[in-house]
Amino acid sequence: MSSLYEEISAPPAAGVPVRRVTLNVNGQDRTVDVEPRLLLAHLLRQGLKLTGTHTGCDTSNCGACTVLFDGRPIKSCTMFAVQADGHEVQTVEGLATQSSLHPLQEGFKEEHGLQCGFCTPGMMMAAKALLESNPNPTEDEIRWAISGNLCRCTGYQNIVKAILWAAEKMRGSSN
């Protein structure tokens, strides 16, 4: 068990109640004490040091904070950390293995699917959810799947191409 009191930059004021939660993050159980008001995005970034999950707006608009929650893409700034108690969360840090990048990571590299990279973790997690339910998506289906994720740099075309690249590679490796 680790206490977020020691880890977050603004510890709770004296007397603020905390809740102990256990969630599985990228395959590992983590038990932490959190303030009930703490957002899941902030638990991941500040408490668990998984800074690949970005926060761009904190108001559910940009999608930079997208993670998989029990396999479904959610905006982690719209959920309290306490709501994740007993659930599985996957972040962008969970994509690669010790020896290889995930095909989505390769695809974004191959097809130049990023510029500043701020939107990229959220894009990849939204795309991962898509490819797990639909291994052979059309371009329109990809655009729909990432419609909750904003990119200010790329114009989206290369992101779509990156996801198509990953889909093809994943289909090939499953044959």
Instruction: Summarize as ranges the residues that interact with ligand FES (CB under 6 A).
Output: 55-58, 60-65, 75, 77, 114-119, 151-154
Contact assessment for residue 158 and residue 112, using Cβ atoms and an 8 Å cutoff: yes
Contacts with 74 (C-beta within 8 Å, 6 or more apart), sequence order: 66, 67, 68
Find the shortest distance in angstroms from Cβ 162 to ligand FES. 11
Closest CB to ligand FES among residues 28, 68 = 68
- CA-wise closest residue to 3 among 15, 18, 17: 18
Rank residues 136 and 157 by Cβ distance to ligand FES and give the closer one: 157
Sheet holding 88-90, edge to edge: 2-3, 28-34, 19-25, 88-90, 66-69, 72-75
What is the smallest separation between the CB atom of 166 and ligand FES, expressed in angstroms? 17
- Output the CA–CA distances (angstroms, integers) from residue 173 to 102, 104, 127, 132, 135, in the order listed: 12, 13, 17, 14, 12
Rounded to a whole number of angstroms, the minimum distance from the CB of residue 28 to ligand FES is: 23
What is the smallest separation between the CB atom of 6 and ligand FES, expressed in angstroms?
A: 25
**Which residue lies nearer to ligand FES by CB, 32 or 146?**
146
> Can you tell me which residue has the tokens 């959810």?
129
- The angle subtended at Cα 58 by Cα 56 and Cα 59, nearest 5°, is 115
Nearer to ligand FES, 130 or 158 (CB): 158
Question: Min. distance of Cβ 110 from ligand FES in angstroms?
Answer: 15
Nearest residue (CB) to ligand FES, 40 versus 164: 40
